[in-house]
């Protein structure tokens, strides 16, 4: 008697990834499964690092999705390209994203890098002396350059620079079905300003609600926003 075929799920792919997931694998799998079929889609991840460590999208790449990784540190961008060298539908762009095009210093501490020396950077022992100059570009411009029209999953993980990234992104035009932003919504210090406010979380809630999104999940690291069904 033929054995029944094992069903493949997002959880199978997520648990099979050799990386440190930022959240519970079952939660992430359930979120993806509730919105997307396994047959494929596309993603954009801003702040890619090496293309698999702590990534929410490596499982999607393994499933055959098309993807764009954006990483400002040249050495890390090379690692990302190496991770996905056998996937012709994955592209890596080496730059930072922000509201306006310019050059800026990126401060580095191991896998952590930040364009701003805030309290969170200090908590990670980031030094103003360890830095590299990077090009900042608007995400909109990169998407046009890469001929990307719509987005299924948008990930923004840029250590405190998320607001600037979103200011350079036309959410009405690209309409990602799911956005994952590192807001540290449920965390306290060192992610609060001097008035005790998480500026990234407050900005993102207003930004996505105005654009027709619902917050569907939040933890110490990331907040997930799903696009509402259009009537």
Q: Which residues pair with 4 in a beta bridge?
A: none
Residue 72 CB neighbours (<10 A): 27
For the chain, domain boundaries: 10-98+142-227
Helix (H, G, I), strand (E, B) or coil at 203: helix
The pLDDT of residue 2: 44
Q: Which residues pair with 105 in a beta bridge?
A: 133
pLDDT tens-digit series, residues 145-191: 999 999 999 999 999 999 999 999 999 999 999 999 999 999 999 99
Under 8 Å between Cβ of 55 and 77: no
pLDDT tens-digit series, residues 11-31: 988 887 766 788 999 999 999
Which one, of 140, 143, 144, 112, lies nearest residue 126 by Cα?
112
The pLDDT of residue 150: 93
CATH 3.40.50.150 fits 10-98+142-227, yes or no: yes
Query: How many helices and strands, by DSSP H and E, does the chain display?
Result: 9, 11
Low-confidence ranges of the chain (pLDDT < 70): 1-7, 18-19, 231
The pLDDT of residue 18: 64
Q: pTM (2 decimals)? A: 0.93
């Amino acid at each position: 008697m033929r054995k029944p075929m094992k069903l493949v799920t997002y959880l199978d792919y997520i648990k099979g990834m050799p990386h440190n997931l930022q959240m519970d694998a079952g939660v992430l799998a359930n979120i993806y499964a509730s919105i997307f079929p396994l047959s494929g889609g596309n993603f954009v991840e801003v702040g890619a690092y090496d293309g698999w460590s702590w990534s929410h999208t490596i499982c999607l790449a393994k499933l055959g999705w098309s993807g764009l990784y954006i990483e400002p540190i040249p050495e890390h961008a090379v690692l990302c390209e190496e991770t996905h060298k056998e996937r012709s539908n994955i592209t890596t762009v080496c730059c930072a994203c922000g509201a306006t095009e310019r050059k800026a210093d990126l401060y580095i501490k191991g896998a952590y890098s930040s364009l701003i020396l805030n309290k969170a950077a200090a908590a990670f022992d980031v030094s103003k002396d360890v830095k590299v100059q990077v090009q900042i570009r608007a995400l909109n411009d990169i998407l046009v350059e890469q001929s990307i029209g719509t987005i299924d999953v948008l990930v923004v993980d840029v250590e405190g620079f998320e607001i600037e990234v979103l200011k350079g992104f036309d959410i009405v035009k690209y309409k990602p079905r799911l956005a994952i932003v590192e807001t540290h919504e449920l965390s306290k210090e060192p992610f609060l300003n001097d008035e005790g406010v998480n500026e990234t979380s407050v900005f993102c809630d207003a930004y996505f609600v105005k654009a027709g999104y619902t917050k569907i999940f939040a933890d110490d690291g990331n907040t997930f926003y799903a696009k509402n069904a259009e009537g």
